[in-house]
Amino acid sequence: MKLITRSAIALVFLIGLAKPLLATNPDVAIRIRPVKNCFTILIKNVRGTPVGPITAVDMTIFDQKNCQRVCQTKMKLQKKLAICQSLDFNICCNKPLPLSYIVYVRVYHNFGMNEEWFFQP
């Protein structure tokens, strides 16, 4: 019984410690470029296999000085990306942006989720 319990605990720790290693290999690369109140989002497949479908893109903008959320938008996509293929599109915020802000973008796809940050000082 002691051997089974210790083996189960060791397995739980092994899985728990190995899980963060999955974040080091992104499935899609994300680049954010600001254009006034809109942002151009470039998504590129960096896997050796096709990624798809990319179901949604979620963008949240925070005010850097007082750490409040200024804008949150979500765009639904149903696009597949072949190997090394890229996709770019615009997401806009209908509210005025502060002078310094932080943009957080999440991309949801069949392999999970990838995220990217953009800081405007």
pLDDT in tens, the chain (121 residues): 888 888 888 888 777 766 655 555 678 999 999 988 899 999 999 888 888 899 999 999 999 999 899 999 999 999 999 999 999 999 999 889 999 999 999 999 988 899 999 998 8
In the chain, where the domains are located: 26-120
Contact 90, 77 (CB under 8 A): no
In the CATH scheme, what architecture does the domain 26-120 have?
Sandwich (2.60)
Helices (H) and strands (E) in the chain, counts: 1, 7
Per-residue confidence (pLDDT) for residue 14, from 0 to 100: 73
State the burial class of residue 121 (Cβ atoms within 10 Å of its Cβ: 0-12, 13-18, 19+): exposed
Instruction: Identify the three-state secondary structure at position 36.
Output: coil
Instruction: Identify the three-state secondary structure at position 83.
Output: coil
Per-residue confidence (pLDDT) for residue 47, from 0 to 100: 86
Per-residue confidence (pLDDT) for residue 25, from 0 to 100: 60
Model-level pTM?
0.77
Contact 42, 33 (CB under 8 A): yes
